[in-house]
Structure 1
Amino acid sequence: MIAYLEGKILCKAADGIILLAGHIGYEILVDTITLSVCMEKFQANETIGLYVYYHVTERQPKPVLIGFLTPDDKEFFQLFITVAAIGPMKAIKALTKPIPQVARAIEDRDTAFLSQLTGIGKRTAEKIVATLNGKVLAFAAAQRPESDTASTTPRDAVPEEKQVMVRQVTEVLTEQLGHSASSAKRMIKQAFEKNPGISSPEDLFDEIYQETR
């Protein structure tokens, strides 16, 4: 299964791009925001990497590749398509707003905002909230006011003297507790943002579980 592709963009395609990777051109569907980033890379003749969701079913035997700029974007998408009546094709067309904004609307039960997404009516917006409310807070946390940017902790930044502790906790979260690497990073980051004084793995676990309760 294809999970990641890196290369240069040959051209824009219907609802996406054709990416040249290893002398093979892959047609990849992307949301409108990702497409704008891809086109900037295309104009600059730069390489781009995309995390890929591979979609094929009995109803749709032709494989479809859907691309994302980050693992978190792909992870949100995989949650999004668990909503009844939202399949991968509908979902990628619906993501016309930044994912943190969509996640925040879900957590705020803002069906009016969700109804603005392409192909999402009021009833579907209500289904999205009913299915995902309480599950996407970590994605919504990525949205911050621009004026607050300078004072926030970078996504993966952890004090150097605590890196060993963080690696230990990350291993437990991913290898023993079944969290994805991106989820583990988010939980650890949020814990340090709430309590910068964490000084032991036990303290870090306590803060993480407080965050997820």
Structure 2
Amino acid sequence: MISQIEGTIRRLLENRVELDVGGLTYEVLLPSRAYQQLRHHEQEKPVRLYTFHYLEGGMTGTPIPRLVGFISELDRDFFHLLRTVKNIGVKTALASMILPVSQYARAIEHEDIPTLKGLPEVGPATAKRIIAELKGKLVKFMLMPEEGPLAALPVAADYRAEAVEVLLQLGKRRAEAEDWVARAASQFPDIRESDRLLAEIFKLFGAPGG
């Protein structure tokens, strides 16, 4: 079992990163939030990811080994907790993790269905099931800082551009993504962080593909 991996970034894609580790290159799947944090990491500096190893497929063919990476151990713990919810597998749990874990946990504990149902792969029924099965188990996650160990990394100067980038990753067309961000930024002028703005966008418009 591979529980963590450390190396330099060779290539960073929307949902995965390729890490050079001692002459070998590993492909590691990422939740969207981890991708956003790694975008600001200096490429030549090593990065450590806490990983989960699993086999994909296997019912009709040869299982494919996969690595999933997280910025912190608590992020990984939260991912595992999500997977205990009925009908939530690896891909659904990963797709939904676009917010800081502390914010995701607060939405569950506060029964914030509008925020939860706006997350990718999480509709109203799944949001209610997550609340029913996880509420009361998330105190340690609610107390996490908004970012993990990469909190000291520089944040994009234009939070609106970062919000647009997330919407593009989720399959939204640029024109509509920019429109959503502009309308939300106008409605919530005091918000200056992309993750908070995205939370309001999902409440207003729902998540792309949701």
Q: Report TM bin, short chain.
A: 0.5 to 0.7
Report the TM-score when normalising by structure 1.
Answer: 0.63
- Displaced runs of 4 or more, over 3 A: 57-60
- Paired with 1:97 and 1:65, the residues of 2 have a C-alpha distance of 21
Q: How does 1:6-85 map to 2 (within 5 A)?
A: 6-13=6-13, 15-41=15-41, 43-56=42-55, 58-59=58-59, 61-85=63-87
Q: CA deviation at 1:44?
A: 4.1
Q: Match of 2:122, SS?
A: coil
Match of 1:111 in 2: 113
Match of 1:125 in 2: 127
Structure number with greater CO (CA < 8 Å, separation at least 6) is 2
- Paired with 1:91 and 1:23, the residues of 2 have a C-alpha distance of 31
Counting aligned pairs with the same residue, the percent is: 31
State the aligned residue count. 143
Unaligned runs of 5+ residues in structure 2 are 147-210
Report the TM-score when normalising by structure 2.
Answer: 0.64
- Paired with 1:115 and 1:33, the residues of 2 have a C-alpha distance of 17
Q: How does 1:89-168 map to 2 (within 5 A)?
A: 89-142=91-144
The one-letter code sitting in structure 2 at the alignment partner of 1:61 is P
Unaligned runs of 5+ residues in structure 1 are 145-213
Match of 1:175 in 2: none
Q: CA deviation at 1:111?
A: 1.4
Q: CA RMSD in A?
A: 1.7
| Greater percentage in helix | 1
